[in-house]
Amino acid sequence: MTATRQTRTLHGARMSYVEACPDTTAGDGDPEVVVLVHGIAGSAETWDPVLRSYERTGCDRLLLAPELLGHGESAGMGGDFSLGAYANGLRDLLSVLGHRRVTVVGHSLGGGVAMQFAYQFPEMCTRLVLVSSGGLGRGVSPLLRAASLPGAEWVLPALASAGLLGLGAGALRLAAALPSFGDEAVSLRETARHAASLTERAHLDAFVDTVRAVIGPRGQRVSGTERLYLTEGLPTMIVWGERDPVIPVGHAHRAATLVPHARLELFGGAGHFPHCDEPERFAALLTDFCDTSAPAELDVGSIGPRVASRG
């Protein structure tokens, strides 16, 4: 299995994605597709450890890791950076590629996008996997809350132009190499990669706009918890690092009570990037979850009666 980077033009803008297991088939029908959605300031690279794990062990599903607008190599100057717009972008990419039904895996911001995708396009979502996901409570790190403050659109570019963001990313990489940070090394490297992406102005602008769409000075402003009952019939797995400093692990426990059928998997030594801390375990869990759960058969028509019954 060799992962390859691809691009498509959607509405005149470039959207980049990484594809793995392209020769996978499911009998005579469409291949089973798993979509891996990264978090804020991230890219498809955050899924590299998982893809490498599948490289070693094999994979019988098509894996797609798209890069959201303003992230990675996808276009990003201006535009709508709301969860709904990101979900629309996923739908458009999958439609262009001819994939009608997918398992959606979302990390951090990508978890919020995955939930929004499931709400907007239930007929396309067969399973849902939330990894240290946003949108499940108010709690979030002070740094992300600070990025939502007035003036951040001026302060952060000034820090970037002065080279301070780059220096910060370098310091995180150096810290990750020190033995004393052994347990946190993976999280530090991933955080450094995310911070380094903000030295590009298009990425920085998208970061500020995205943060403000979902986070305020008092924490996360967008919540999907009141709609989790709509996941009834949708196989759902929640994966979290117990030492997550960005989004509290308590969000995972609460979400698991709101989705009674959810499968909860906690990674004891992991931080905000459990899929990077233990990629082999994560890949094995994802494979087992897909193998042991029947794909959902939902549609828009099934949502109305559920919403009305909660009225």
User: So which residues are the catalytic ones?
Assistant: 108, 244, 272
Rounded CA-CA distance 271/54 in Å is 22
DSSP 230: G
Q: Is 117:245 a contact under the CB 8 Å cutoff?
A: no
Helix axes 152-161, 164-176, angle to 10 degrees: 70
Beta bridge partners of 35: 64, 104
- At a CB cut-off of 8 Å and minimum separation 6, what does 82 contact? 213
The CA-atom distances, in angstroms, between 288 and each of 71, 121, 126, 194, 263 are: 30, 24, 15, 29, 11
- At a CB cut-off of 8 Å and minimum separation 6, what does 265 contact? 237, 238, 239, 240, 285
Number of helical H runs and strand E runs in the chain: 12, 10
The CA-atom distances, in angstroms, between 198 and each of 41, 67, 82, 180 are: 7, 15, 19, 27
Side-chain-side CA neighbours of 20 within 13 Å: the count stands at 25
- At a CB cut-off of 8 Å and minimum separation 6, what does 43 contact? 67, 71, 72, 73, 193, 197
